[in-house]
A and B are shown apart, each in its own frame.
Chain A
């Protein structure tokens, strides 16, 4: 069973009321077992629903990666939180879930987090010669000719 396979890999697992939160289980996994956790979900016929990131440097001095795995056969949805240090390089799960490709590129684009083992890590939403990571809390947009500075106060 999925819970047995995960016990040694995750720090904390909680059952969640699906009707209230929309998912069944919540896990906290350390960054170094991330790949193994993904492997467990892959072997249990889960698909990757999304990956996202939170900039929590102000409160916890970490970035939090949020993975969401779902399966349709005996339906379940699991959320995995992984806290990483701002300069850490988490491992990519593209080798297990090809759909992680663009999610990891988006996180790289918006937060500047590199993923170890990603086949083609480059910006996805911003143009390639853009500098800066727009979703960081301390983001300041570099000067650009594409913006009207005189109306900057909105």
Chain B
């Protein structure tokens, strides 16, 4: 406490200009530290929703099992309730009938939350995309905001790990994330 200023600085700027305000209160309140700490915690305990749509889910299950073991990076706690999940791994073809339940599940997940689109189907419809198709949602981004895309049909468990590492990187970078 020795370095604490004896008087609080008087903030005179327009409170709408949040950056300027931040600059003035920065010596007193280190907003970034707590945010970074939370982001560290979030990135290392990504709890996915127990949720598989098609064959990619088999690779997701393989990633969770002993040979690859998602628990090594804290992401193996598959939650059967959307209320407890942080990340939705969209693993497989999204049929149109499944679109509404997916939106409901996404809305039920508490913020902050992230989505990983796994496999060709969730990127743009994949092999099921052709003129006149009537059954498939052509891309998970038409339903939920996707953070990481994994190409492959299906992607191997290593690719899912790579996606989770990328997502961790993104979470830890916070607002500074670029690409």
Residues of A within 8 A of B (CB): 125-127, 130, 132, 134, 139, 141, 144-148, 151-154
Measured CB to CB, the closest approach of chain A to B76, in angstroms, equals 32
Contact with A along B116-158 (1 / 0, CB 8 A): 0000000011000111111111110010000000000000000
Check B97 against A153 for contact (C-beta < 8 Å). no
Contacts of A130 in B (CB 8 A): 96
10 smallest beta-carbon distances between A and B, as pairs: A134-B134, A146-B137, A127-B97, A148-B138, A141-B134, A154-B131, A147-B138, A146-B142, A154-B130, A127-B96
A126/B97 contact (C-beta < 8 A), A145-B142, A146-B142 known: yes
Contacts of B133 in A (CB 8 A): 141, 147
Contacts of A147 in B (CB 8 A): 133, 138
Measured CB to CB, the closest approach of chain A to B68, in angstroms, equals 32
Residues of B within 8 A of A (CB): 96-97, 99-100, 124-125, 129-139, 142
In the bound complex, what is the Cα–Cα distance between A147 and B142 (angstroms)? 8
Contacts of A125 in B (CB 8 A): 97, 135
Check A148 against B139 for contact (C-beta < 8 Å). yes
Say what secondary structure dominates the interface of chain B: loop
Given contacts A126-B96, A151-B124, 4 further A-B contacts (CB under 8 A): A125-B135, A126-B135, A146-B137, A146-B142
Smallest Cβ-Cβ distance to B134: which chain A residue: A134
The 24 listed contacts between A and B (C-beta, < 8 Å) are A125-B135, A126-B97, A126-B134, A126-B135, A127-B96, A127-B97, A127-B100, A130-B96, A134-B135, A139-B132, A141-B132, A141-B134, A144-B96, A146-B96, A146-B99, A146-B138, A147-B138, A148-B125, A148-B129, A148-B138, A148-B139, A151-B124, A152-B131, A154-B131
In the bound complex, what is the Cα–Cα distance between A139 and B131 (angstroms)? 12
Smallest Cβ-Cβ distance to B95: which chain A residue: A125
In the bound complex, what is the Cα–Cα distance between A127 and B137 (angstroms)? 12
Contacts of A145 in B (CB 8 A): 142
Contacts of A139 in B (CB 8 A): 132, 134
In the bound complex, what is the Cα–Cα distance between A144 and B99 (angstroms)? 12
Check B138 against A127 for contact (C-beta < 8 Å). no
Measured CB to CB, the closest approach of chain B to A55, in angstroms, equals 15
Contacts of B142 in A (CB 8 A): 145-146
Smallest Cβ-Cβ distance to B100: which chain A residue: A127
In the bound complex, what is the Cα–Cα distance between A152 and B133 (angstroms)? 10
Smallest Cβ-Cβ distance to B98: which chain A residue: A127
In the bound complex, what is the Cα–Cα distance between A153 and B130 (angstroms)? 8
Contacts of A127 in B (CB 8 A): 96-97, 99-100
Contacts of B124 in A (CB 8 A): 148, 151
